[in-house]
Copies of this chain bind each other. A is one copy, B any other.
Amino acid sequence: MKIDSVDAFYLRLPTVSDIGDGSQDALLVRVTAGGFVGWGECESAPLPTIAALVAPMSHSACHPVLDAVLGADFDSPESVGEIHRKVKAQCIDLLQADHALSGIDIALWDLLGRIEGRPIWSFFGAGNFPKTAYASQLFGDDPSATYEAAREVAGTNFKAAKFGWGPIGSGAPELDRDHVAAAREGLGANIQLLVDTGCIFEHDVERASARIACFEEFNVGWWEEPFYSGAIQEYSRLASRTRIPLAAGEGAHNADQAKHLIDYGGIRFIQVDTGRIGGISSAREVARYARERSVRYVNHTFTSNLALSASLQPCADQEGLAEIPVKTSELAVAIAGASWIPDINGHIWAPSRPGLGLDVDAKAMSPFLQDLEIRWQGQVLWRSSGL
């Protein structure tokens, strides 16, 4: 069969706040072939990503993404790989293409799984192992709010929790210590604490280093994203100064960049987002690469359960931690249901049903659907369609 259609759906909350919550909008991708349907989600700015799908060709290395997808042969894992490879080759100079490809690659794997009646992870071979879920959320506006959020986690099955973004790193190191202390106290003795500083130190190793004492004092399980994803040398320098393991990778938009963090950055956890790195195909390549080098692969997910399932497929064959966003927006809930709850052992699994193993809820999503139209030289390049 051939790829018959590719649609994209831009969803957004009525009000988007200037905070680190990445679940305030979403771009879903729907791909069809031979009457079957697959879904994916781009973790990206929706408008530029839609523009990448349909942008008029600039030259041979700058095609619209859809040129390599629509009408392509489709019947096997190899055909996912061939479409993926062709998008990369035709979009060398279209930067946003990697984010568009991510949602398409996920949708293609979902489609294949549904056609063959198998979960995606089963194509990768070695089974579906439990993950230790960690409750992922933003720091509170002040330490008492962080404490309350941590207390909430303490009453659940979660064995680990991560706090990130919010005020961390933007004020004095003492304020950061107050937040981390509040989180530690709120969680109690039996829940591991992870910290995410959301690139706040940019490339500044000294400013980041002023937090080492605090993070070591409270023995945080990892320190995520002190710097921008590309700041490999800065990661390496910070890693040499602290016993806290560094974690990074969500900004990587291809497998190469994640490999460089592993090879040269001194990180001990690689956290790519399937919705950015080029989909499940690229994420799977990184998961294998990391395992061979004893770096732990952990999903990055802060949006819907559709994205969560996609992010667990590449690493279903290994145990480890898994990010579960616990305070996502009503939009994320509308897309594919409420936050997953781990079992009594704190575990979650990739779904066992075909493809991504879950269904999107078109009716629930509809109120969030955005109306978008792009006109170029008098023709409609893009117009939103209904769900």
Please, what's the 1-or-0 string for A246-272, where 1 marks a CB less than 8 Å from any CB in chain B?
000001011011011001100000000
Interface assignment of A189: CB less than 8 Å from any CB of chain B:
no
List chain B residues, Cβ under 8 A from A25: 56, 58-59
Please, what's the 1-or-0 string for A28-47, where 1 marks a CB less than 8 Å from any CB in chain B?
00000000000000011111
* Complex alpha-carbon distance, A98 and B98, angstroms: 14
Interface assignment of A362: CB less than 8 Å from any CB of chain B:
no
* Complex alpha-carbon distance, A188 and B62, angstroms: 34
Interface assignment of A361: CB less than 8 Å from any CB of chain B:
no
> Which of B17, B61, B99, B371 meets A95, CB within 8 Å?
B99
Are A370 and B377 within 8 A (Cβ)? yes
How close is A380's CB to chain B, nearest CB, in angstroms?
10
Are A58 and B95 within 8 A (Cβ)? no
Please, what's the 1-or-0 string for A151-167, where 1 marks a CB less than 8 Å from any CB in chain B?
00000000000000100
How close is A10's CB to chain B, nearest CB, in angstroms?
9
Copies of chain A in the complex: 2
Interface assignment of A20: CB less than 8 Å from any CB of chain B:
yes
Main secondary structure of the interface of A (DSSP, over half): loop
Interface assignment of A79: CB less than 8 Å from any CB of chain B:
no
List chain B residues, Cβ under 8 A from A12: 56
How close is A225's CB to chain B, nearest CB, in angstroms?
9
List chain B residues, Cβ under 8 A from A202: 85, 88-89
> Which of B18, B59, B232, B276 meets A22, CB within 8 Å?
B59
Count contacts on A: residues with CB < 8 A to the other chain. Answer: 68
Are B260 and A232 within 8 A (Cβ)? yes
How close is A125's CB to chain B, nearest CB, in angstroms?
22
Interface assignment of A92: CB less than 8 Å from any CB of chain B:
yes
Interface assignment of A215: CB less than 8 Å from any CB of chain B:
no
List chain B residues, Cβ under 8 A from A17: 59
Known: A60-B165, A231-B256, A375-B373. Is A96-B46 also a contact (CB below 8 A)? no
* Complex alpha-carbon distance, A165 and B371, angstroms: 40
**Given A16-B58, A60-B165, A230-B256, 13 more contacts at CB 8 Å?**
A20-B59, A20-B60, A21-B59, A24-B58, A25-B56, A51-B51, A52-B96, A89-B199, A92-B228, A95-B98, A95-B99, A230-B260, A260-B264
Which A residues have a C-beta under 8 Å from some C-beta of B?
A: 12, 16-22, 24-25, 43-48, 50-52, 54-63, 85, 88-89, 92-96, 98-99, 165, 198-199, 202, 228, 230-233, 251, 253-254, 256-257, 259-260, 263-264, 276, 370-378, 381
A-B pairs with lowest CB-CB distance, top 10: A230-B256, A96-B96, A51-B51, A48-B51, A47-B55, A373-B375, A48-B96, A45-B94, A47-B51, A45-B55
